Amino acid sequence: SPKKIKNNLLQMIKLAQDKNIPVSLYQIKITPNYGPRYNKMFEQVFIDVAAETNINLLPFFVEPLVTDASLMQKDGIHPNVKAQPIIAEFVASQFTEIMEE
């Protein structure tokens, strides 16, 4: 449930922050077959957790890829091997931005 996800994220973040480990959180989105109500509640978890813990909320790293079928597995949900360097570059650029702040 979104409530359980939120509680788990808050606990993990607290553990890291208690050890002075910098934390950022990636927004995660799920497939639309869960329905609009659940999707909205799920996505809101990440927004709320980032706000409550005062950490960076980074954009969903798969979103730029999902419209390019050549970068997705046959299930249309998961990136394929060709997408991995693109994801790595995207993640690296996000972390570089954070480190420069």
Residues 3 and 22 in one domain: yes
pTM (2 decimals)? 0.83
57-67 as b/e: b if 16+ CB within 10 A: ebeebbeebbe
Domain span at residue 85? 61-101
Residues 3 and 50 in one domain: yes
Residues 24 and 70 in one domain: no
- pLDDT, mean of residues 45-65: 93
Give the relative orientation of helices 36-53 and 2-18 as an angle to the nearest 10 degrees.
Answer: 20
Cα 93 to Cα 14, 52, 55, 59, 90: the distances in Å are 25, 25, 17, 12, 5
Q: Which pLDDT tens digit goes with each residue over 59-97?
A: 998 888 888 999 999 998 899 999 999 999 998 998 888
Residues 34 and 51 in one domain: yes
Residues above pLDDT 90, as percent of the chain: 75
Contact 10, 52 (CB under 8 A): yes
More confident residue, 94 or 51: 51
Phi first, then psi: what are they for 68, rounded to 5°? -110, 100
Residues 22 and 54 in one domain: yes
Q: What is the mean pLDDT of the chain?
A: 93
Residues 47 and 14 in one domain: yes
Our count of domains for the chain comes to: 2
Residues 56 and 67 in one domain: no
**pLDDT of 44 over the 90 cut:** yes
